Chains A and B, each alone.
Chain A
Amino acid sequence: MAGSRGMIDPAIFEQIQANIDDDSQLRDEVRNILQKRERQGRMTLSVLSRAHSVPAAERTVPRTSHIIATLNLQIVKEALKPARSSIDEQIQTISELGAMVSKYPYYKYNHLWTRHTQETIRSLIFGVWLGVYEPEQGTLLTIKEVGSSMNVPVDVKDRDVFHITTEEYLLALTDLIEELARLAVNSVTLGDFQRPLQISKFVKELHAGFQILNMKNDVLRRKSDGIKYSVKKIEDVVYDLSLRNLIPRNAS
């Protein structure tokens, strides 16, 4: 103490400044990479939104037939194919992000990109549900499958690494449900009377899952409270169809 008579060890503020600079630089880098992800995300959404519309030529085909519905599905799947590469690009960007932030505590900066990963998960699970990747459609990617598709760990407890959080996955599911409610309505317009039934069953199963979660007052609660409106919307579509005997006989 005799050596330095000042009150303040200059190293204190040098270190604080270094910390602020380091922080600013990382934020800059993260922001750049997220802008790239946003561009890719818009691309994906514009392709996936084709699921709600049908090529103009198809509108002349008579509706109500189950065969037409299946045919429609094929056409939609064809139209959605470009979504694959764009989702893959998003996944690539997310993994670049993961590499960039790997040396920082995960939760220190997680708030910067959590919305972006959530959107990418949403596009991925919606794409898979629509059958963009596999011939089979209507399937849900579990959080583990999302993790392996994106090559990002999930359910991380014991190490501090870049990963997908449960909240991000669940929020993506709430977005998916909203999208499917819209799709149920639009499928009817497209003459596909079977898909609303499939959506109804699927969304109810998800809703049942959400109902066992104990929510606190946070964004997840707000979003999951909204699920019931989507369920209702889908039920109304199914009701309208069944009232008019429009439900395909071989549907479950």
Chain B
Amino acid sequence: MAGQKHDLDEKDMDTSDVSPFMPMFQGFRDELDQHQERRERIIKASRDITALSKKIIFSLQRVRHLQQPIPPPIAKETNTRYKSIQELFTTIAPDLQGINSWRYQKQISGGCQEFVEAISFQHYLETQRLLTHAEAQALIPGGVELTTDDYVLGLFDLTGELMRFGITNIATNGTLPRGTPAGEGSEGRDILMDLRAIRTHFESLDTSSGPNDFSYLKKDIQKKTEVMRESVGKVEYAAYGMIIRGRERPKGWVPDLNEGQDRGREPVESY
């Protein structure tokens, strides 16, 4: 009863027999306290996982070649961060077991999505393939469940990273990043082909059936589809700029990322 307030105004109400319902409420207090503690631990871990994942993505953006192991200096940076993320997941894993795995979904979701973005980016750089849900889940320790929602939304954000990666490569190497050929006589795929493939798959997702109420996934997918389209458009426009002005390109020239966007919109407004 240490935390009880004594502002009840009746004389006989300042002791523990203040109310016959007290034992039940003491149970509630313990339960709510535990709930809040778990919740806060998860929020904190999720925030840290997000920050670390962002740093990993930053490091990975310095990679210049597809389908090759991550260069050791970069891998060294990312590996320490992966290790910290693993530890964070392991720390909160007990809070996310069984029935609680979905209870705190909203709290852990941010960290999971950013982590998927980081690992799927790395996976793409190394293998030029899209990370599967099962592969992503395998990288999260302690039995913390990766929901389909977080996996999908992480992949959406991946397209933004691929856009940045593609454009940086055009700017520095003057070419689109391209994978190694799969066999004799064939060319490796370039990043634009991959981005278009992702776009096609995402756009073919049907989110129209059923009620929309409280379906965060549907709402987020609709929002992120728009951003994803813009990302693909930016790389398309950068590729166009590379072809048309490539030879005149001064060393260190960086395409204006907004240029393509404005160009695409202008006619709509002026006609």
A residues sitting closer than 8 Å to B (CB atoms) are: 1-2, 5-9, 11-13, 15-17, 19-21, 23-25, 27-28, 31, 105-108, 111-112, 140, 142-143, 155-161, 166, 170, 204-216
Min distance, Cβ B167 to any Cβ of chain A, angstroms: 18
Q: Is the interface of A mostly helix, strand, loop or mixed?
A: helix
Given contacts A13-B201, A20-B207, A24-B211, contact A206 B19 (CB under 8 A): yes
- Enumerate chain A residues within 8 angstroms of B10, measured Cβ to Cβ: 204
Min distance, Cβ B219 to any Cβ of chain A, angstroms: 12
CA distance A155 to B35 in the complex (A): 13
Q: For the complex, is B5 an interface residue (Cβ under 8 Å from A)?
A: yes
Closest 5 CB pairs of A and B: A24-B210, A209-B25, A205-B19, A107-B102, A107-B103
Choose the segment among B54-62, B125-133, B233-241, B249-257 that binds chain A (4+ C-beta atoms closer than 8 Å): B125-133
Choose the segment among B26-34, B74-82, B110-118 that binds chain A (4+ C-beta atoms closer than 8 Å): B26-34
Q: For the complex, is B244 an interface residue (Cβ under 8 Å from A)?
A: no
- Enumerate chain B residues within 8 angstroms of A107, measured Cβ to Cβ: 99-103, 105
B residues sitting closer than 8 Å to A (CB atoms) are: 1, 3-5, 7-8, 10, 13, 18-22, 24-29, 31-33, 36, 98-103, 105, 124, 127-130, 132-133, 148, 152, 182-183, 186, 189, 193-194, 197-198, 201-202, 204-207, 209-211, 213-215, 217-218
- Are the C-beta atoms of B4 and A25 separated by less than 8 Å? no
Given contacts A16-B205, A157-B99, contact A27 B133 (CB under 8 A): no
CA distance A160 to B102 in the complex (A): 10
CA distance A239 to B205 in the complex (A): 65
A212 interface neighbour in B4, B198, B211, B215, Cβ under 8 Å: B4
- Are the C-beta atoms of A20 and B24 separated by less than 8 Å? no
- Enumerate chain A residues within 8 angstroms of B20, measured Cβ to Cβ: 205
